[in-house]
């Protein structure tokens, strides 16, 4: 039965029928005893039928109480296909979503606390040494303090970007983007960031993007993708290695690839590197949010981003829908 109202009608009708039968059978008794028997039978039948119909509601009540105490593992058995069964299915989905949200909240709090602890502790140590006179405020010491503040700034910026994207607060402003010049500017900015942060600058960039290739995209969001992919490739490239940017046009998509000559990514880890705070074994002080932000930015454009096979290192492929 798919309707709870129909079930209720069946319960009432069954109770009336059984009470009528009981009254008919006991009609030879005195009237009051027959009436009491009919009422008792109707009560028992109604209670038995209603108990089974409302069992999912009782389970939901218990699950809600456990949720109020932080336990999101409770589920309700959907034993029917009526309104109560639909409610039970929706309740189970809500409980799963709440459990996932709670897990994400705990992971974010733990990971952010861990990421913040290291630069704050390092900055505190530098300032404490300066105050105590253990270290002098020379260029090397100040550069160390500056690097830690920049690391904090990157973490805060990445968290804000990710929260805007996941919250749906990022609006796309699509327009034609000339990929060759766009990639050249992104490479120049990557070199500047490496130079200012004291990272090695002996990585060669190879821009193999056709000069006439254009894509319809939000330039600011696409800049995030290029910046994060280039930074990731530069960090994992060996000294003297090459980071190559290539692009091509297909009938239904524009394909962009960023490849490095680093150790690559194991097939089992390729999907995880786009998750939040996953750093692929890197311990270079990065936040682990760059590729997650790149994935969300590409998803906003209805595109795809994946790690593809490359014997020489890591190759990340982006597919954006072709301009209409």
Which comes out higher in pLDDT, residue 154 or 264? 264
Which comes out higher in pLDDT, residue 179 or 37? 179
Q: Give the Cα separation of 254 and 8 in Å (integer).
A: 59
Q: Residue 319's pLDDT is what?
A: 92
Task: Tokens for 184, please give them.
Answer: 């050249």
Task: Tokens for 149, please give them.
Answer: 């503040």
254 phi, psi to nearest 5 deg: -105, 125
pLDDT band at 318 (very low <50, low <70, confident <90, very high): very high
Other CB atoms within a 10 A radius of the CB of residue 257 amount to 19
- Residue found under tokens 């992104």: 186
**Segment among 80-94, 101-115, 218-232, 279-293 with least mean pLDDT:** 279-293
Residue 163 has pLDDT above 70, yes or no: no
Q: Give the Cα separation of 133 and 306 in Å (integer).
A: 51
Which comes out higher in pLDDT, residue 36 or 217? 217
Angle, CA 109 vertex, CA 106 and CA 112 arms, to 5° = 140
Q: Give the Cα separation of 296 and 276 in Å (integer).
A: 11
- Of 15-19, 107-111, 254-258, which has the strongest mean pLDDT? 254-258
May I ask the CATH architecture of the domain 174-321?
2-Layer Sandwich (3.30)
Q: Residue 5's pLDDT is what?
A: 58
pLDDT band at 281 (very low <50, low <70, confident <90, very high): very low
Residue 286 has pLDDT above 60, yes or no: no
Each residue of 47-62: pLDDT tens digit?
Answer: 776 666 667 777 888 8
Average pLDDT, stretch 255-277?
79
Q: Residue 165's pLDDT is what?
A: 60
First to last CA, the chain: 49
Tell if the pTM clears 0.85, that is, is over it: no
Task: Tokens for 164, please give them.
Answer: 């805007």
């Amino acid at each position: 039965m798919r309707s709870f109202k129909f079930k209720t009608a069946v319960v009432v009708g069954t109770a009336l029928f059984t009470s009528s039968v009981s009254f008919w059978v006991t009609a030879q008794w005195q009237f009051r005893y027959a009436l009491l028997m009919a009422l008792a039978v109707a009560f028992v039948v109604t209670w038995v039928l209603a108990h089974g119909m409302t069992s999912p509601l009782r389970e939901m009540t218990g699950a809600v109480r456990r949720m109020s105490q932080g336990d999101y593992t409770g589920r309700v058995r959907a034993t029917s296909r009526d309104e109560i069964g639909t409610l039970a299915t929706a309740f189970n989905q809500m409980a799963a979503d709440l459990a996932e949200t709670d897990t994400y909240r705990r992971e974010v709090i733990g990971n952010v606390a861990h990421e913040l602890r290291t630069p704050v502790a390092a900055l505190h140590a530098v300032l404490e040494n300066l105050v105590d006179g253990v270290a002098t405020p020379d260029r090397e010491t100040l550069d160390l303090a500056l690097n830690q503040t920049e690391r904090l700034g990157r973490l805060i910026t990445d968290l804000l970007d990710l929260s805007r994207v996941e919250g749906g607060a990022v609006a796309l402003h699509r327009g034609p983007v000339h990929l060759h010049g766009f990639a050249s500017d992104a490479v120049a900015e990557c070199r500047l960031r490496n130079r200012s942060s004291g990272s090695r600058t002996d990585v060669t960039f190879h821009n193999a993007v056709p000069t006439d290739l254009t894509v319809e995209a939000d330039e600011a969001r696409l800049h995030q993708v290029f910046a994060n992919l280039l930074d990731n490739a530069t960090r994992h490239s060996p000294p003297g290695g090459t980071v190559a940017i290539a692009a091509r046009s297909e009938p239904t998509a524009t394909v962009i690839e960023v490849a490095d000559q680093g150790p690559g990514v194991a097939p089992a880890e390729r999907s995880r590197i786009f998750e939040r705070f996953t750093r692929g074994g890197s311990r270079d002080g990065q936040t682990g949010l760059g590729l997650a932000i790149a994935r969300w930015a590409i998803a906003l454009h209805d595109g795809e981003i994946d790690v593809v096979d490359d014997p020489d290192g890591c190759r990340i492929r982006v597919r954006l829908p072709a301009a209409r």
